Amino acid sequence: MAAETFEPEIVAFCCTYCAYAAADLAGSMRLRYPTNVKIVKIPCTGKLDSLYIMRAFEKGADGVYVAGCLEGQCHFLEGNINAKRRVKYLKKVLEEIGIGGERLEMYNMSAAMGPRFAEVANEFTARIRELGPSPLSATAKHKVPASSGTAAEQ
């Protein structure tokens, strides 16, 4: 796929207290940002389960980013710091798998930073466009088995 025509699928996990509100503001301000970015609202980036990120890639996302409050301003004090560590760890895992750690990023912004939200969405989309489709996406969009649980309980 030529780089100009490649439209990446990007999932943005946004904290409801900051980035999600910033996205709203970006909308009210009529700022343009790429439609590639699909926003998933979460109550705090601290709630972000590493599995959500893995599943997003497994289901064919070309890039994923996490957007939380500015450091020191987390509604739950340190959820964003915990998320930052998880993102750092998962970047390494993605590298090992062969997907590439640069397809995952963490950003920080406040609810008042609508323009920054649009800027991040543009920046990240450009990065993923540059990288091209996820090596998985040729085979991806596959089903993720819903087969977990405790054997003894079944």
Partner 1 sequence: MIIAEQKPLSEIEEMLADCHKVMVAGCGTCVTVCFAGGEKEVGLLASALRMARELKGQPLETLERTLHRQCEWEFVDPVKAELEGIDAILSLGCGVGVQALSERLPGVRVLPALNTKFMGLPLEQGVWSERCAGCGDCVLDLTGGICPIARCSKSLLNGPCGGSASGKCEISPDVDCGWQLIYDRLESLGRLDLMEEPIPPKDWSYARDGGPRRIVREDLRLGQ
The SS3 call for residue 15 is strand
* 3-state SS class at 117: helix
Give me the 39-78 binding string for partner 1, x by CB under 8 A, dash otherwise: ----------xxx--xx-xx--------------------
Helix/strand/coil percent split, the chain, to 5: 40, 15, 40
Cα separations in angstroms, 25 against 14, 16, 18: 14, 13, 10
Does residue 1 bind partner 1 (CB under 8 A)?
no
Site for partner 1 in 110-129 (CB under 8 A): none
Asked if 141 interacts with partner 1 (CB under 8 A), we say no
State the residues that interact with partner 1 by CB under 8 A.
Answer: 49-51, 54-55, 57-58, 93, 96-99, 135-136, 139-140, 142, 144-145, 147-152, 154
